[in-house]
Amino acid sequence: MKPMKPMKPMKPMEPMTWKEFPRWWPSELGDPNASGSQNGVQYAFFGKARRLLLRAGGETITYDTEDHEIQGISQASDAAHTTLTSPRGELKVRDLKRVVSVDG
C-alpha cells in the first residue's frame, strides 16, 4: 500500500464579486448584507442604510427596515408575503413602511 500524499491546505474564502452577481440596486447603497432571489422576486438588504429592496416584474420597491436587525428572509409566492427574521421575531414586509423615491 502506497503512503498517502499530504493534502494541500485549503485556500481562504474570498468575498463574492458583483461581477458574478450583477447589481440591480442603486450604487449609493453599497453592498448588501444579504441578497438573493426566489419565485421571481429578488431582494437586497442594506443594514447600515436600513433599507430592504424587493424587485419583481421589473418594479423595485424600497422599504424602511427601521431599527430591525434583519437576519433572514423567507420568500413566498410574491413580494408582499415575504417574511423577515430578526432578534425580535418575525416581521412581514407588508408591515414595513414603503420609501417613496424623489423621482417617483
The pTM of the whole model exceeds 0.85: no
Distances (CA, A) of 51 to 10, 14, 25, 74, 95: 36, 25, 11, 16, 14
pLDDT in tens, 43-102: 889 999 999 998 888 889 999 999 888 887 887 666 667 888 888 888 888 889 999 765
Single out the residue of 11, 4, 72 nearest to residue 36, CA to CA.
72
Please tell me whether residue 18 adopts helix, strand or coil conformation.
coil
Name the DSSP letter for residue 64.
Answer: E
- Residue 26: pLDDT over 70: yes
- Give the HSE-up count for residue 14: Cα atoms under 13 Å, Cβ half-sphere: 5
Backbone angles phi, psi at 29, to 5 degrees: -80, -15
**Whether the predicted pLDDT of 9 surpasses 80:** no
